[in-house]
Amino acid sequence: MENQTDSSHNSEQKPITLSPWKMVGWICGGVVVLSVLSCVVIAVMRSNGLTRVTVTALDPDAEPRDHELPFFKKKEALPDYEVIVILKGDEWVNLGAKPDRSAADGLIWELNEPISTSDIASVRLRDQDKVISDTIAEVQLLGDSTTDENYQFDFESQRSFSVGLRSFFRTPIGVAISGGVLIAVVLIVVSRFDLPDLF
Ligand SMILES: [Ca+2]
């Protein structure tokens, strides 16, 4: 494809050629810009990160106990609470156990690495056991505070762009967009070289 330049600068100007490769370069540039924009928008939407879970037993007398232990091991008989964050898509994060502690006054689990609330399916409370850990309560993150069975769950969260970005790359659309950007960047690099015309 060839275009003659504007006639006002008639004499010795070379004709501008827009090769198909240049067009590919422009289109890919557009794809990259749009992809980065959608990445930012999605990351902002998913930027609310869970930072802390507080579990409080509503009725301390109803907490699980290791009743078979002798009386002098009263302390060990207290529950060994463990909190698991269940993510969408079969993954989970164990926040750890607090052995031999009552949750009557509230037990706190801090998250060193906040998890986007958009990625969380539920939060599970277990009584840790060497054989089978029993689930004693499980809640969804529908608000800042919620109860299940004998337990109140309080959640704290914080906005963070890096949390949203990590969450973005977990989504199928994030994977597709990053794949598209990679292909577009390769094509842009290729289109910079003086390649023979496609057509
Ligand atoms: Ca115990």
More confident residue, 69 or 53: 53
More confident residue, 153 or 170: 153
Question: What's the 80 CA to ligand 1 centre distance in angstroms?
Answer: 5
Question: What's the 150 CA to ligand 1 centre distance in angstroms?
Answer: 18
Among candidates 56, 36, 34, which has minimal Cα distance to 154?
56
Question: What's the 71 CA to ligand 1 centre distance in angstroms?
Answer: 13
Question: What's the 64 CA to ligand 1 centre distance in angstroms?
Answer: 9
**E strand map for 32-150:** 48-57, 81-87, 92-98, 107-116, 120-127, 134-139, 145-148
Quick one: pLDDT band at residue 65, thresholds 50, 70, 90? confident
Question: What's the 127 CA to ligand 1 centre distance in angstroms?
Answer: 9
Question: What's the 156 CA to ligand 1 centre distance in angstroms?
Answer: 27
Question: What's the 172 CA to ligand 1 centre distance in angstroms?
Answer: 42
Question: What's the 129 CA to ligand 1 centre distance in angstroms?
Answer: 8
Residue 61 has pLDDT above 70, yes or no: yes
Question: What's the 143 CA to ligand 1 centre distance in angstroms?
Answer: 30
Give the environment of ion ligand 1: residues with CB less than 5 A: 80, 100
- The set of residues, in sequence order, having a beta carbon less than 8 Å from that of 168 and lying 6+ positions away, is 39, 42, 43, 46, 174
Quick one: pLDDT band at residue 134, thresholds 50, 70, 90? confident
Q: What is the pTM of this model?
A: 0.79
Residue 4 has pLDDT above 70, yes or no: no
- Report the pLDDT value the prediction gives residue 16, as an integer from 0 to 100: 66
Question: What's the 87 CA to ligand 1 centre distance in angstroms?
Answer: 27
- Report the pLDDT value the prediction gives residue 138, as an integer from 0 to 100: 97
Question: What's the 99 CA to ligand 1 centre distance in angstroms?
Answer: 6
Across the chain, mean pLDDT equals 87
Write b or e for each residue in 100-125: b if 16 or more Cβ atoms lie within 10 A of its Cβ, otherwise e.
eeebeeebebebeebbbbbbbbebbb
Question: What's the 153 CA to ligand 1 centre distance in angstroms?
Answer: 21
Residue 24 has pLDDT above 90, yes or no: no
Mean pLDDT, rounded, for 192-196: 70
The kind and range of the H/E element at 155 are strand 151-159
